[in-house]
């Protein structure tokens, strides 16, 4: 299985750690990382995920990032819009786009605590969804 990873660099230390964990998890699960892309913020992930899923050498996309609560509800808007767009892209392409984006309503220390579980589960979800789709098509 070949996955692509697209990550948000808005919080570079968090994103870098999430990417390292996702690489480690993919390797341990026997998945090949075909491509890695970085975007500025999580809102920028869906168009790149769509382009990656359009490729024949990519079976699934893992989206990584963190949306941290500020003084407004902007974190909720970004989180919901990004998750909805990723779901729509996944359905349209009939390939998994897994959600390894933490938030909304999360503070920075919570984002750090969620690095490993979010990145690992996103890779696991991409692999499991790909297998389920293959089975459904058989």
Catalytic residues: 74
Residue 93 burial (CB count, 10 A): 17
Peptide bond into 85 cis (omega under 30): no
End-to-end C-alpha distance for the chain, whole angstroms: 17
Q: Give the separation between CA 56 and CA 48, rounded to whole angstroms.
A: 15
Q: Give the separation between CA 127 and CA 28, rounded to whole angstroms.
A: 12
């Amino acid at each position: 299985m070949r996955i692509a990873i697209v990550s948000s660099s808005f919080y570079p230390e968090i994103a870098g750690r999430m990417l390292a964990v996702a690489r480690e998890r993919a390797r341990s699960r026997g998945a090949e990382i075909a491509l890695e892309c970085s975007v500025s913020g999580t809102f920028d992930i869906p168009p790149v995920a769509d382009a990656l899923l359009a490729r024949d050498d990519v079976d699934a996309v893992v989206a990584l990032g963190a949306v941290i609560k500020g003084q407004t509800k902007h974190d909720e808007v970004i989180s919901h819009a990004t998750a909805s767009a990723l779901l729509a892209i996944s359905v349209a392409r009939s390939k998994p786009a897994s959600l390894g984006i933490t938030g909304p309503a999360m503070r920075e220390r919570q984002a750090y605590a969620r690095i490993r579980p979010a990145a690992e589960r996103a890779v696991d979800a991409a692999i499991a969804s790909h297998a389920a789709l293959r089975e459904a098509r058989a």
